Chains A and B, each alone.
Chain A
């Protein structure tokens, strides 16, 4: 069981959220400014909560009482930022290799080649990020986050810029990968199609608090895409 119980106070905003989930796809929904991104950033270690506890895949990432705060680079978390956050001075190929320890060996690895093909970025490898469309950049960011085989995947509106016709295949691929790797995926989304086709569990946040927690089967008209 993964546990995220955090409190974080900003000048005019207070996040006080408690989430428990398994190795499943978790969707965070709610209005802008409700604390979804702060929650993701706290799990990744990019924000330190004021209080609380974060346990993921058996590792304590953060524990205020025990004074534990694992550095982001030690959490093995894949994070796809809303704006892709690709390094503009590196080609797509080098962006993807950025987080790999064994750069040459891993790129030669069959699965990374397959990953690039599945997410349709193989033809982009030699380009710089400035030459990518928003959707291409998000797909590259997804490949980059998946490349080091993370134990937990955090997605901040990862498909918002992806072309409509490509979205179903990208969703399908993430779903199949999540099942294959058996890892938790926490995803911020406003997209109903993503909620209905991907999420196993949906947490709704409002003004820094979790206002509802529902399983996918409890969502109305929730067909599951096949993969």
Chain B
């Protein structure tokens, strides 16, 4: 048994990078989707919402398997990506970003959607009568009014991505510096009976997750204090 307590920072940094990129893209994609789900009625809406919520109930390996099939080398998406970038999409950082976005999608959309719904409609009406068009109303009223939900969505997506295992393993494997994120590294350390390394990295992940959740609750409390007085 080779036991090393030396912390391997590379998987931790890769996890943080993956979470940061995923959260940024998710905020850009999830916000308009949440807006549509909050304010627009359209045919098949229940079906769309069910599809978006699937990652919550699907086993990560199942989702990972579908993503792997969809972006694999012989899939149209995989082939197109290889033609353009000359690299495979599966087992790459971009591949695990894509999988992470799908996996964390409902964790971003649902809090933002709920926050949009809870914004008092009269505030948006007031903004319109004060000279704001729809776009300005979105930025000046809806986003600030829903900021607690947006922050919650971002934090949950970030934390959820940092904690990913099954999806990333299926889609990215365990390529050091490329797809071997902290959770996979911990698993491999345990497999190699390197409990010291696994424990150290697990404690770092635990502290990190605790910090994120504390921030979410602290922010939401201070936001609601401002509104409720």
Contacts and interface: CB of A to CB of B under 8 A. Distances in A.
B132 to A, nearest CB: 6
Interface-centre pick from B123, B133, B141 (highest chain A CB count, 10 A): B123
Interface string B113-146: 0000000101101111111110010001100110
Given A85-B120, A89-B144, A89-B145, A72 B129 contact: yes
A173 interface: no
Nearest to B227: A88
Interface of A is mostly: loop
A44 B123 CA distance: 14
Contacts of A87: 123, 126, 141, 144-145
Given A71-B133, A73-B133, A83-B122, A98 B226 contact: no
Given A88-B227, A131-B229, A144 B125 contact: no
A130 B126 contact: no
A81 interface: yes
B125 A98 contact: no
A87 B140 CA distance: 10
A148 B130 CA distance: 8
Interface-centre pick from A75, A99, A144, A145 (highest chain B CB count, 10 A): A99
B6 interface: no
A128 B229 contact: yes
Contacts of A79: 125-126, 129
A45 interface: yes
A46 B125 contact: yes
A85 B133 contact: no
B226 A85 contact: no
B57 interface: no
Contacts of A128: 226, 229
Contacts of A45: 128-129
A89 B151 CA distance: 15
Contacts of B120: 85
Contacts of A81: 122, 125-126
Contacts of A88: 145, 226-227
B227 to A, nearest CB: 4
Interface in A73-110: 73, 75-79, 81, 83, 85, 87-89, 98-99, 101
B229 A78 contact: no
B1 interface: no
Contacts of A75: 129
B16 to A, nearest CB: 30
A73 B131 contact: yes
Given A71-B133, A101-B131, A145-B129, 10 more contacts: A73-B131, A75-B129, A76-B131, A77-B129, A79-B129, A89-B145, A128-B226, A144-B130, A148-B130, A148-B131
* The 3 residue pairs across chains A and B that have the minimum distance between CB atoms: A130-B229, A99-B130, A72-B128
24 contacts: A41-B125, A44-B128, A71-B133, A72-B128, A72-B129, A73-B128, A73-B130, A73-B131, A76-B131, A77-B129, A79-B126, A81-B122, A81-B125, A85-B120, A85-B123, A87-B123, A87-B145, A89-B147, A99-B130, A101-B131, A128-B229, A130-B226, A145-B130, A148-B130
